[in-house]
Amino acid sequence: MGSSIIGGGPSQGSSYVPPPPPPPGSGIKIPLLFGAVAALLGASIYLFYQLSEVREEVRTQLADTRDQIMAELAKEHETSSVTIQTSKKNVEKLTSDVAEARRQASLLAGDAKQEAEKHADVLAAKLEQAQEQQAKQVSAVASDVSQVKDAENTTRSQVGEVNNQVSTLKTQQTATQQQLEKTVANLTTTIGDLGEQSGRIATNAKELAALRQLGERNYYDFKLAKTKTPEKVGDVQIKLTSIDPKKNKYTITLIADDKTIEKKDKSINEPVQFYLSRASQPYELVVNEIHKDSGGMIVGYVSAPKVQQSRKSTSQ
């Protein structure tokens, strides 16, 4: 078993061993916090840059789509012009043939005249059919052009929506960053029950979320009622022993590293500090709320160092 302790007082049934003095530079320092905020600002700037690149890419895609649409329109116009001109020539020729057949029929008599008139009727039927076909071709070309224009309008609408989404993301990111900076600036530090300078203390769920976003330590929130057996929270087990709601006081028992220690008459938002053999920096427990309902309950969190060490390396 390691020789490290988890608290500042003696363990029950064993000799008291003082906590190891933290090495130079241990603990959460305010400059590190400012460094984390600077890192967050850098991340925000990077996100803005990425969003700008997305918007530029969308603009490029819009330009490419517009060029494709204009090419399709030009192609449709060229095709329709050739088709309509060909159809027009056919109709003009049939019209001329019908007129000539009618003229020749009027000059003839008897059976020859009847045959000429029949020929003229056949040509007239072909003329009518050609005119109908020409009208359908014009209608089809107009429909194709309309579809291409509709596709262009749809693309413009989609690009507009993307631009709006990018602007909304930028606004939300700015608001979130400003709120985080404001929340972090309002957090306080104090001296813990072991005499060590604490890190930033969260007094509610919103402030705890801001600490998590900073990412300097690991946080484990809890709601503990009075029970006969301790409950595991992060790397330790905690048992709520008693509460005094009128004075906002509570007493708990901590179990870790095969050691048991009592933290007695602690206050709301007071950093309760203890050491584990796996880390050179102290752990901190903070209770934000005390409830007398259901026999008593405390609400808070445990703050653990991110850098962990093995028992072997700690004890050497």
Do 216 and 153 share a structural domain?
no
Q: Looking at the structure, do residues 60 and 179 belong to the same domain, yes or no?
A: yes
Here the tokens at position 27 are: 């603990």
User: Do 156 and 232 reside in the same domain of the chain?
Assistant: no
Domain with 109, as residue range(s), is: 47-184
Q: How many domains does the chain have?
A: 2
217 plus 133 within the same structural domain: no
Both tokens of residue 42? 């850098």
Same domain, 85 and 110: yes
Alpha-carbon gap, residue 165 to 153, rounded angstroms: 19
Tell me the pLDDT of the chain (316 aa) as tens digits. 444 445 544 444 444 455 555 544 444 455 555 566 666 667 667 776 777 777 777 778 777 877 887 787 777 777 777 777 887 888 888 888 888 887 877 777 677 778 877 888 888 888 888 888 878 878 887 787 788 778 778 877 777 777 777 777 667 666 665 555 555 555 566 777 777 877 788 999 999 999 998 888 999 999 999 999 999 999 999 999 999 999 999 999 999 988 999 999 999 999 999 999 888 889 999 999 999 887 899 999 999 998 876 544 444 3
Asked if residues 224 and 285 have their Cβ atoms less than 8 Å apart, the reply is: no
Helix axis angle, 205-214 to 30-107, nearest 10°: 80
pLDDT of the residue at 212: 92
Residues 234 and 136 in one domain: no
Same domain, 88 and 170: yes
In a domain, 27, yes or no: no
Owner of token pair 């390691």: 2
Among residues 136, 157, 184, the one where a domain terminates is 184
Rounded to 10 degrees, what is the CA torsion of 287, 292, 295, 296? 0
Report the DSSP pairing between strands 249-256 and 236-244: antiparallel
Considering the domain architecture, whether residues 52 and 179 belong to the same structural domain is answered as yes
Do 228 and 241 contact (CB within 8 A), yes or no? no
Query: Given this model, what pLDDT does residue 88 score?
Result: 81
Question: pLDDT tens digits for 6-29?
Answer: 554 444 444 445 555 554 444 445
pTM for the predicted model, two decimal places: 0.45
Whether 212 and 131 share a structural domain: no
Decide if 4 is inside a domain: no
Same domain membership, residue 227 and residue 112: no
CB 213: neighbour CB atoms within 10 A? 13
pLDDT of residue 142: 77
Residue 125 counted as domain residue:
yes
Domain assignment present for 262: yes
d(Cα 214, Cα 184) in Å, to the nearest integer? 9
Q: pLDDT at position 13, please?
A: 46
The number of helices, as runs of H, and strands, as runs of E, in the chain is 4, 8
CA distance 312 to 238: 25
- Boundary-marking domain end, from 156, 184, 212: 184
Where are the extended beta strands (E) located within 86-146? none
Distance separating alpha carbons of residues 241 and 252, to the nearest angstrom = 5
On whether residue 24 sits in a domain, the answer given is no
Q: Is 252 within the bounds of a domain? A: yes
Residue 185: the pLDDT is: 57
Kindly state whether residue 36 falls inside one of the protein's structural domains: no
Are both 219 and 286 inside the same structural domain? yes
Any idea what the CATH number is for the domain that residue 152 is in?
A: 1.20.120
Kindly state the tokens that stand for 62: 């819009």
Instruction: Record the tokens describing residue 185, joined without a space.
Output: 């600036």
CATH number of the domain that residue 282 is part of? 2.60.98
Q: Is there a domain that residue 14 lies in?
A: no
CA 116 to chain centre: 82
Domain end position, chosen among 184, 216, 237: 184
For residues 164 and 203, membership in a common domain is answered with no
Q: Which two tokens stand for residue 174?
A: 């700015």
